[in-house]
Amino acid sequence: MDLAVADVPDGAIVMFGGFGGAGFPNNLIQGLARRGARNLRVISNNCGTGDGELGILFKNRQIRHVVAAFPGPGATYFQQQFDAGEVELELVPQGILCERMRAFGAGIPAFYSPVGVGTDVAKGKEERVIRGKRYILEQALGADYAFIKAYRADRMGNLVYRKAARNFNPIMATAAKITIVEVDEVVETGTLDPETIVTPSIYVDRIVVAKGIHNA
Amino acid sequence: MDLAVADVPDGAIVMFGGFGGAGFPNNLIQGLARRGARNLRVISNNCGTGDGELGILFKNRQIRHVVAAFPGPGATYFQQQFDAGEVELELVPQGILCERMRAFGAGIPAFYSPVGVGTDVAKGKEERVIRGKRYILEQALGADYAFIKAYRADRMGNLVYRKAARNFNPIMATAAKITIVEVDEVVETGTLDPETIVTPSIYVDRIVVAKGIHNA
Amino acid sequence: MPKARLTREQIAERAALELPDGAYVNLGWGIPNLIAAYVPKDVVVYFHSENGILGMGPRAKAGEEDYDLVDAMKVPVTLVPGAAYFSQVDAHVMTRGGHLDICILGGLQVSERGDLANWRVPGAKGAGGIGGAMDISVGAEKLIVTMEHNSKDGQRKIVTACSYPLTAIECVNTIITDLAVIDVTTDGLVLREVAPGFTPEEVQEQTEPKLRCSENVPEMALRTK
Amino acid sequence: MPKARLTREQIAERAALELPDGAYVNLGWGIPNLIAAYVPKDVVVYFHSENGILGMGPRAKAGEEDYDLVDAMKVPVTLVPGAAYFSQVDAHVMTRGGHLDICILGGLQVSERGDLANWRVPGAKGAGGIGGAMDISVGAEKLIVTMEHNSKDGQRKIVTACSYPLTAIECVNTIITDLAVIDVTTDGLVLREVAPGFTPEEVQEQTEPKLRCSENVPEMALRTK
């Protein structure tokens, strides 16, 4: 576990999968807490639940900047540091957060979006009328590392997920230089049905088997 | 079969799934040939193989305009009509053809693309430098109808595909006002595994069961 | 006896009547989250959750929770037959791409032209959070906002122009409150129904922009009065 | 005895040596399509097909063809363990997004700065076809072009500037021909290897731009000579 995250340097950009308590790579997060890398720039739908999920990294003051859609009322450490001006936040609509990651993985540098037109989200962004409708320009969003959670991997790195724990994980796998996945179990290559693989092995760099941790 | 395509009017924009002989909705195509709608604008990776696949629609002179990545040397009727100036062609790189459809389905009106920069594909398109690299602006591509081929549907319209016959079909399902799917079999709703559904029912409007036709 | 405004449950009950059979529906936080319980027995609708579910069923029974199967509010739920899982990015292809038939969100303010503010009270502590509301508002084929007609301190929430941070502009089709059902049209706000016992004049009084209405505005149909 | 240029099979054999163990690889039409047969036994590579396969195995045996499992040239193929299916749009997330390690395409012309022309001969009849070549060329982490050094009528194909319609600009890393292995660098073309029996001068003669090279240019290593 600690080996898998041992090369994450200070200042790294790291994405974390998970939504609504499901699909968080909690063992990898705790490994990163032990590793102690600082000044991290993180990308995640939310900012932790107490000490759980990303909470421990905020508690340890390892995070300097966060891109999130919904930091969450339970993100105690983040909220304290945000109110104190100790952590920077870029607040992004959830679908656009996903879409910007997908664009990065797909080699698309920027795209026009209808979301946020006329709102605070549009501030500082180019606006353009296309076929009579207003849009804003959104930029691709990539990372140095993606920490994701899957259900099962084969030895080659093909992944399947479990129920709504899929959420951000497959898209983050495509948007980072190094994707590290935490899984419940590893199976022999060739035993996952090629029709049902959600994340092909090409997107996975490291696999760690660990018992899932659920933060209610 | 003929009922499923009975409302396709003259001048309709129709997408057709299929690539390399696999995943073509050949029964629907032949239904459209019998229906006889004319002046069609079609979107398809290729332009038929003799009378097969889209060939019959070109033979019947039902198509006025085509957006394709690789019309193909076997597209006899298309090539004749193209050389005679009787059909218009917009030639699009294959990945960009997919990506423009996905953008349409995803509510993205336009995106910047690295593909085709400095080539004939860039002609007439806005070029822009983003983070030091050259890109061109590509527009979303939608249709009135998508004719697609899947392996199995449940009664609600959830779809799974078979092997490489998946190709363009799932993405076209998201990019048309009306999606009509030809399948090998229909199963009871609830019998497809929710983890393995590739096209959720929300994208499917009509289902037709028919024995697949393969054009070598 | 003073006239009673609708309860939150009654707002939800009325909103449920807006769901046609076979519709694909997303429900937001707050009152919308109460609506599923009021869908009429003869109507089947498919609930979408932006974390990657189409076809959510009721909340999981105590003891049967699966914390990998939760809705966008972290509540353990169940599936109906024909449900599918997908990623969050594909979930938002559905919202932003206009594939859902009806979305119902809570609201802090709605303007005359259908602008919605629902994610942040100005001056509130903390970072706030947008979540999926902006994507949903922009993409919804039909967007219904359910909310109390007035804020807790009596302010009007249906306003000429929103003063709260916006979620999306010109996105709301219908507002359902504890006093009325109001449609947003190109000709302005149209009062479609009033809460039982209330008059159009009383609704107008609590509404900043001018409401248009026919001579006889019917009362909302509710089973529970 | 006149010196023999490499055969197409020998070009493929040399190109196969460029594939490192574990690489994800896309092979295009023409000579690239011959390469899979020459991958050394101790090297495992995973072949990508733009119609939605990662982990293609050899061509299907006669009588065992499945016409739902074909490569981008319509040839019935097989899978290796660990293969996956996906849609064409996801296949091109892999090409354009830079996820493939090596792509090998055929070529009509390659320029000094690595521009590639490989989809259309000017003046040819018919509509032509781009296929996936532009997406692959732009996105490839490393792009190798395999082709004959000269056209059938003896024209040079490695040129100062392409006169044929371009596939992509500044995309080629290495050119492998029946005469040489040439790297495209920021300092121009560098002759890395020559075909057995040929001299750098002889290669230069058939190459329009100036080739740089070290004093001793080795011969290509081939099992079949």
ipTM of the complex: 0.97
CA-based nearest residue to A202, from D101, D138, D160: D101
Contact assessment for residue A142 and residue A104, using Cβ atoms and an 8 Å cutoff: yes
pLDDT band at D154 (very low <50, low <70, confident <90, very high): very high
- Those residues of chain A that have pLDDT short of 50 are none
The torsion defined by the Cα of A27, D101, D90 and B116, in degrees rounded to 10, comes to: 140
pLDDT band at D224 (very low <50, low <70, confident <90, very high): low
Count of domains observed in chain C: 1
pLDDT tens column, B163-211: 999 999 999 999 999 999 999 999 999 999 999 999 999 999 999 999 8
pLDDT, position B152: 98
Angle, vertex CA D25, rays to CA A8 and CA D96, nearest 5: 70
Three-state secondary structure call for residue A61? coil
pLDDT, position D124: 86
Nearest-angstrom CA–CA distance, B47 and B53? 8
pLDDT band at B32 (very low <50, low <70, confident <90, very high): very high
Which phi and psi (to 5°) does residue D205 adopt? -60, -35
Three-state secondary structure call for residue D195? coil
Cβ within 8 Å of B, A 139-158: 139
Residue D225 has pLDDT above 80, yes or no: no
Asked, for residue C218, whether it belongs to a domain, the answer is no
Residue D161, domain CATH: 3.40.1080.10
Percent of chain C with pLDDT over 90: 93
| Whole-number average pLDDT of chain D | 95
Cα end-to-end span (Å), chain B = 23
| Whole-number average pLDDT of chain B | 96
pLDDT band at D44 (very low <50, low <70, confident <90, very high): very high
Question: Please, what CATH class does the domain formed by A9-91+142-209 belong to?
Answer: alpha beta
Nearest-angstrom CA–CA distance, A9 and B40? 57
Asked, for residue D146, whether it belongs to a domain, the answer is yes
Q: What pTM did the predictor assign? A: 0.97
pLDDT tens column, D45-103: 999 999 999 999 999 999 999 999 999 999 999 999 999 999 999 999 999 999 999 99
pLDDT, position C224: 61
Domain ranges of chain B: 9-91+142-209, 94-139
**Shortest Cα distance, chain C CAs vs residue B145, angstroms:** 15
Percent of chain D with pLDDT over 70: 98
Residue C1 has pLDDT above 80, yes or no: no
pLDDT tens column, A122-180: 999 999 999 999 999 999 999 999 999 999 999 999 999 999 999 999 999 999 999 99
**A164 close to B (CB below 8 A):** no
Contact assessment for residue A101 and residue A141, using Cβ atoms and an 8 Å cutoff: yes
Pick the catalytic residue from D13, D18, D50, D148.
D50
CB contact under 8 Å between D99 and A203, yes or no, is yes
C contact set with B (CB within 8 A): 24, 46, 48, 54-55, 79, 81-86, 92-94, 96-100, 138-139
Contact assessment for residue B34 and residue B57, using Cβ atoms and an 8 Å cutoff: no
How far does Cα D148 stand from its chain's mean position?
A: 11
Asked, for residue C215, whether it belongs to a domain, the answer is no
Domain range enclosing C162: 8-210
Nearest-angstrom CA–CA distance, C113 and D84? 49
Nearest-angstrom CA–CA distance, D48 and D91? 8
Three-state secondary structure call for residue C139? helix
Contact assessment for residue C157 and residue C115, using Cβ atoms and an 8 Å cutoff: no
Residue B79: count of CB within 10 angstroms of its CB: 20
Contact assessment for residue B26 and residue B215, using Cβ atoms and an 8 Å cutoff: yes
Q: Do chains D and C touch (3 or more CB pairs under 8 A)?
A: no
Which distant-in-sequence residues (6+ apart) come within 8 Å of A195 by Cβ? B160, B161, B162, B163, B196, D85
Q: Which of the 8 DSSP states describes residue C95?
A: H
Question: How far is it between the farthest Cα atoms of chain A?
Answer: 53
CA-based nearest residue to D73, from D100, D47, D111: D47
Asked, for residue C45, whether it belongs to a domain, the answer is yes
Nearest-angstrom CA–CA distance, C149 and C158? 7
Contact assessment for residue B192 and residue B183, using Cβ atoms and an 8 Å cutoff: no
Structure tokens at C84: 């599918």
Residue C169 has pLDDT above 90, yes or no: yes
Three-state secondary structure call for residue A19? strand
pLDDT tens column, D95-112: 999 999 999 999 999 999
Asked, for residue D216, whether it belongs to a domain, the answer is no
CB contact under 8 Å between B190 and C81, yes or no, is yes
Q: Is D148 a catalytic residue?
A: no
